[in-house]
Structures are given as C-alpha cells and as structure tokens.
Amino acid sequence: MKKKNLVVIGTQWGDEGKGKIVDLLTEYASVVVRFQGGHNAGHTVIVGDKQTVLHLLPSGILHDQVLCVIGNGVVLSPDALLKEIDEVEAQGVSIGDRLKISSACQLILPYHVALDQAREGAKGDAKIGTTGRGIGPAYEDKVARRGVRLGELLNLDTVAERLREVMDYHNFVLQGYFHQPVLDYQQVLDGLAQRAPVLLSMMADVPSLLQQKMKDGASILFEGAQGSLLDIDHGTYPFVTSSNTAAGAAAIGTGIGPGDLGHILGITKAYTTRVGSGPFPTELFDEIGEHLGRVGAEFGATTGRARRCGWFDAVAMRRVCDLNGVDGLCITKLDVLDGLDSIKIAVAYKGCEELGGAVVGSDQYSQVEPVYEEMPGWHGNTSGVTDYDLLPANARAYIERLSEILGAPVDMISTGPERTETIILKKPFTD
C-alpha cells in the first residue's frame, strides 16, 4: 500500500471536529503540521475521560512517537505557545524535542493583541467578533513587511532596533486613533529576550525537514485551523479570519510543493455552526437550533462563546469542495441529529440561482434565502456507533444524500467526541 500525505481542513466556519480527527489519524502518520492560523484555533481531543484543547500545538501531540511541526504560515504567540506546552506537559504528555517551529513564523506580540481588541471595541455592533488574540494585526504586519519572525531572535540587537520603530507606529495608532493606553517598549523587548532561548531551541528549517521526511517515506498530516468559509479570500469577507484556510495553504504555509499534499479530507459537521458575526443563511432561531446547540455542546473551545447553529448548507459546501479539491469527506457530530423528526439540507438559494455557489462570500450572501430539501430523521441511536451498517436506515440515507449532492465520497463519520467513536469507511494514507 502506497503511503501518502493527507490534509485535514474545516469546510464550514470552523469547529467541525478537526482536532478529534487529526488526533485519530495521527496513528497513521509520522509528522503532523499546522500551516496557518494561530491560537485563535481551539481543537478538542478526547481520549477516554481526558479532554485536551489544543490551540497552537498540532493535534497529533498526544501520540508519543509523532513529530509535530508549526509551519511558516502560522502566527505564533510566544506566550500562548509556552503556556500551552506547560499545560499539555502537566497532563503527562512529553513534548521534549518533538516540536519544531519554522524560523519564518511571524510572532504575535502584545501590541497585536491590544490592536485587535481596540479595533473590535471601536466597531461596536459592527465588530467581526474576533477571538481577540491578535491574529489579524500580526498577519497585517507580515504583509506590511514589518513583522518579527522567529528566526530573527538569533540577533536580538536587530530585533530591538526594529521593535522600537514598529512599536512607535502601533503605539501612535493605539493612542491617537483608538484612545487606548500604549504598550511599554522595554517590557515587550524584555519579554521577547527572556523567551528567545527556549523558542530558538525549537526552531527548524521546516521545508528541509519535511523534504527529508518525505524522502524517508514518512506520511505527513497537515492540520488546518478555522474553516473554508473563514478564508481571507474565499470566505464571507470581511467576517473572516486573516489567513488562507483552504487546503492550498498547506503547501505555502509549510514550504512544500502543492503536488506533495496528497489526499484532501474535508471535515464537515452534519449541520452548521458559526461563532462570531457574519452571514449564515441556514441559521436557526427556533427550538431545533436550541437542540443543536445543547446536544452538540456548541460553545467555543477558545473563547467559550455560544456558537450559532443551523441546517447543513450544501450550496456553500459544494463551493467549498471545489475550492479545496476535496477528495473525501468526514461528517462529524451525526449523533447530535438523533431524535429529530425531520432534517433539512439547503440545496439552493432563492433569488440568486444564476450565481449558484459563486454567491458564497459575495456581497449578496447576507441576503440569500435557502431552499430546503427535507428528509425524515431517525429515532434510533447513532451515538458511539463504529459500524456503518449499524446506523439507523434514515441516518445512512442522510449521509448518502449529502455525498450525492456534494459529489464527494464520505471517508469517515464521527458519532461522538471520543477518539474511538468513529466510522472509518476509507483507510487514510492509502490508495
């Protein structure tokens, strides 16, 4: 059997269950790599009665033998990283030299957080609803070519010089435009200098490292954060995150060629959720929305905010399958639909039929009205089921209908939060 790489991405607005699936699939991989986003992500892994929420560390970290890598596409908060390492180690996970970080990672520094929060505060009701972690401002500095990268910590004198210039600029904006307190240059520099040795001890040339691993025959698992509808280019702009979240970013965000990405596995909930502001055509405000939120425990893993809930949106999903070149789907949280009398799938949008999926992310998107196809629900139990044939017939019919509408095979189905509560229809990393 030929081993190959695999990219796991979220296909909706995040929180599809990527962490659970990455943890599960790590069994078949030698390396797990994050390629975009930062600690705005919250990836929940449950093994037995132990729950771990990972923000920056790849969700393969709980497997002892696996190398975990943070690629150049990630924005890295030194504080958040070191705190998370301490937390995970306190749970008995040994990280040692299993974590490597690209020298080209942009650092999230305290002024990014202050700017993110000041901007959201100033927007009032029009806010994006960011996680307040400084993600957007850090990516802005990257593109503006004034960011500080991990590798630069090798020369703290140069960093000190540039930090002064960058902080002069950001403090001017914080004080003059947002009327917020400024940040102390010396404090930021000292914090960075203090953390530099431990950060540098994890630094690596990630493109060379991954090339070598591939030459050695290793399987690499690329772990996406957020979801395709939050992609800075293809998502519901401006209510998006600040990185490319689609599968193509796994190449640029790590430094390997697109041809080496392998199988693209799209993780999708059996319904839809969104946290933060922005359009959400299939959102429910009734008792079914309440059911999904309650049974699905839909609270943000990073901010604790209640997630908005709605029906499965096959129009947006068809678009997303194309954007990512999805080879297979993993449908999660099927168990949350247990007990519903009927289940709806949005198969078209009224009033803009001519735009088809192209309406997703366009200015018209906030006005679309979904056209639903209705299917009977099931009163049997899918929770914890690991054998496809043991699913209630209507649950199988629902899965098969989704696959048919989306034109993509279903590789996996998740029936509970625990690692083992999964139906695997196609073995990963194999032809």
Question: Interface residues with ligand GDP (CB under 6 A)?
Answer: 10, 14-20, 42-44, 46, 296-297, 301, 332-333, 335-336, 414-417
Among ligand GDP, ligand IMO, Mg ion, none, what does residue 272 contact (CB within 5–8 Å per kind)? none
CB atoms within 10 A of CB 297: 11
Compute the distance between CA of residue 12 and CA of residue 16 in angstroms, rounded to an integer. 7
- Distant-in-sequence, close-in-space partners of 135: CB < 8 Å, separation ≥ 6: 37, 38, 40, 75, 108, 112, 116, 241, 242, 243
Q: How far is the CB of 415 from ligand GDP (least distance, A)?
A: 5
Among ligand GDP, ligand IMO, Mg ion, none, what does residue 242 contact (CB within 5–8 Å per kind)? ligand IMO
Region label for 131, one of left (φ > 0), alpha (ψ between -120 and 50) or beta (otherwise): alpha
Applying CB under 6 A, does 42 fall inside the site for ligand IMO?
yes
Which span sits near ligand IMO by CB under 6 A: 25-33, 36-44, 381-389, 422-430? 36-44
Q: How far is the CB of 190 from ligand GDP (least distance, A)?
A: 34
The residue ranges that bind Mg ion (CB under 5 A) are 15, 42, 301
Q: How far is the CB of 138 from ligand IMO (least distance, A)?
A: 10
Q: Which of 10, 27, 28, 17 is nearest to 53 (CA)?
A: 17
Q: Which is nearer to ligand GDP, 10 or 136 (CB)?
A: 10
Q: Which is nearer to ligand GDP, 16 or 141 (CB)?
A: 16
Q: How far is the CB of 44 from Mg ion (least distance, A)?
A: 7
- Helix axes of 185-200 and 78-90: crossing angle, nearest 10 degrees: 50
Compute the distance between CA of residue 245 and CA of residue 228 in angstroms, rounded to an integer. 6
Applying CB under 6 A, does 77 fall inside the site for ligand IMO?
no
- Distant-in-sequence, close-in-space partners of 134: CB < 8 Å, separation ≥ 6: 38, 75, 77, 108, 109, 110, 112, 113, 114, 115, 116
Choosing from 23, 39, 43, 327, the catalytic residue is 43
Report DSSP state, residue 174: I
Helix (H/G/I), strand (E/B), else coil: 344:
strand
Q: Which is nearer to ligand GDP, 255 or 278 (CB)?
A: 278
Q: Dihedral angle at the C-alpha atoms of 167, 172, 173, 178, nearest 10 degrees?
A: 120
Q: Which is nearer to Mg ion, 18 or 142 (CB)?
A: 18
How is residue 17 written in tokens?
A: 């269950």
Q: How far is the CB of 187 from ligand IMO (least distance, A)?
A: 24
Q: How far is the CB of 20 from Mg ion (least distance, A)?
A: 10
Compute the distance between CA of residue 225 and CA of residue 389 in angstroms, rounded to an integer. 32
Applying CB under 6 A, does 102 fall inside the site for ligand IMO?
no
Q: Verify whether residue 43 is a known catalytic residue.
A: yes
Q: Is residue 99 within 8 Å of 64, Cβ to Cβ?
A: no
Compute the distance between CA of residue 17 and CA of residue 292 in angstroms, rounded to an integer. 15
- Distant-in-sequence, close-in-space partners of 353: CB < 8 Å, separation ≥ 6: none
Among ligand GDP, Mg ion, ligand IMO, none, what does residue 136 contact (CB within 5–8 Å per kind)? ligand IMO
Choosing from 15, 327, 335, 411, the catalytic residue is 15
How is residue 179 written in tokens?
A: 């009327």
Binding mask 127-156 for ligand IMO (x = CB under 6 A): -xxxx-x-xx--------------------
Q: How far is the CB of 272 from ligand IMO (least distance, A)?
A: 12
Which span sits near ligand IMO by CB under 6 A: 184-192, 224-232, 247-255, 360-368? 224-232
Applying CB under 6 A, does 84 fall inside the site for ligand IMO?
no
* Residues with active-site annotation: 15, 43
Enumerate binding residues for ligand IMO (CB under 6 A).
10, 13-15, 40-43, 128-131, 133, 135-136, 225-227, 230, 241-242, 275-276, 301
